[in-house]
Amino acid sequence: MAATTPPLKGLKVLELGGLAPSPFAGLILADYGADVVRVDRPITPFGPPRDTLCRRKRSIVIDLKRDTSRRAFIELVKIADVLIDPCRPGVMSRLGLGPETLRQINPRLIYAHLHGFRPDGMYGARAGHDINYLAVSGILSLLGRKDEKPAPACNILGDFAGGGLVCVAGILMALLHRQLTGEGQVVTANMVDGSAYLATFPRQHLGHMNMDKPRGENLLDGAAPFYEVYETKDRRFVAVGAQEPQFYSLLLRGLGLDEENMPKQWDREKWPEMKTLLAEVFRRRTMEEWRVVFDHTDACVSPVLEMGETERPYRPLVEMSESPSLNVDVQEDFPELKKGEGCQEVLREWVPGLEQAMDVDDTSKLLTLGLAKL
């Protein structure tokens, strides 16, 4: 394989329009060479935030309740490799287009459901967002400071890690299975179970050493002075993760503290006192001044950078020597993909024999297939 050939080149993906997790799954596949076509509705059902995860994708507009548009959709399903469905459980089946139907039309199809809650659980039919999925997965109970309410972690952990990324893992495993058997299958991911799986390590350690106290009183959640975020003189922040004794020694040395005169690192009774001391020392210099001290040491002290300060260029999800991703060096803040953009190209490349039978409305961009034209 040529070094410029991405691993998913030639893979055809239909991504039913949805909010962030499913477009993120499609984005990952597109970045690694898949031909991802977003299937939009004629109406605009979502308010902000709009879909900005559309790099390299194209769009078709389908009305699944309109027979001629439905036919056009089915023709594309016949040759698709993957369909990503972010709808609530049963929605596509009630339209007669669920996996039990579409996989009869195309037995090689990998039908990927991406749900919020566990579909067969008590919340399966309910609406939710990242904060709700983390709440019922048990993860939200771990996040936050001592004596404070649990703190949501933006929407990264549930929507994108536990949802979109986990869904992609399922799709890739299904593709490997299809290589062996020639058959597609149904992949079902949900953000509750996906996030809970990511929390395997802390869940296993609950009640054991360093994870046996309430939230905010453990090694990794804010109690340890050597695993904490500290404010600097200019009201910026540095992150400290000096757990190992050799790194802890470098931390104290950089702070100008004599380890011989300090409490022992693992004397938990002294941790509050140590945190107060380290906080006072870190406030003596600016973040950049501390970078001069720590950036080239193994003290595990890092600046807390704003999003616009991180290293460039951007890198792909994973780098591969023989089949790299497509270029992601530049990632637009708000890339746009208008409804129906690239539709004619999709028809020409996906269904060249039916291109003349397909109609695209000039105004709505609705795609239909008229059997009279066949």
Q: How far is it, in rounded angstroms, from Cα 172 to Cα 223? A: 40
- Which entry of 159, 234, 361, 362 is annotated as an active-site residue? 159
**CA distance readout (Å), 45 to 41, 51, 149, 291:** 8, 12, 33, 47
Q: How far is it, in rounded angstroms, from Cα 92 to Cα 74? A: 13
Reading phi first (left if > 0) and then psi (alpha if -120 to 50, else beta), residue 299 is in: alpha
Q: Is the peptide bond before 49 cis (omega within 30 degrees of 0)?
A: yes
Closest CA to 165 of 89, 114, 108: 114
β-strand pairing of 237-241 with 12-16: unpaired
Residue 159 designated active-site: yes
Structure tokens, 168: 């992609």
SS3 260: helix
Residues 262-278 as b or e (16 or more Cβ within 10 Å = b) = eeebeeeeebeebbebb
DSSP state string for 319-362: --SSSPPPP-S---SS----TTTTHHHHHHHH-GGGGGGEEE-T
- Residue ranges of alpha helices (H) inside the chain are 21-31, 67-77, 91-94, 99-105, 130-137, 166-181, 191-198, 200-205, 245-254, 271-282, 287-294, 343-350
Q: How far is it, in rounded angstroms, from Cα 157 to Cα 13? A: 25
Q: How far is it, in rounded angstroms, from Cα 149 to Cα 155? A: 17
Which residues are catalytic, by number?
A: 159
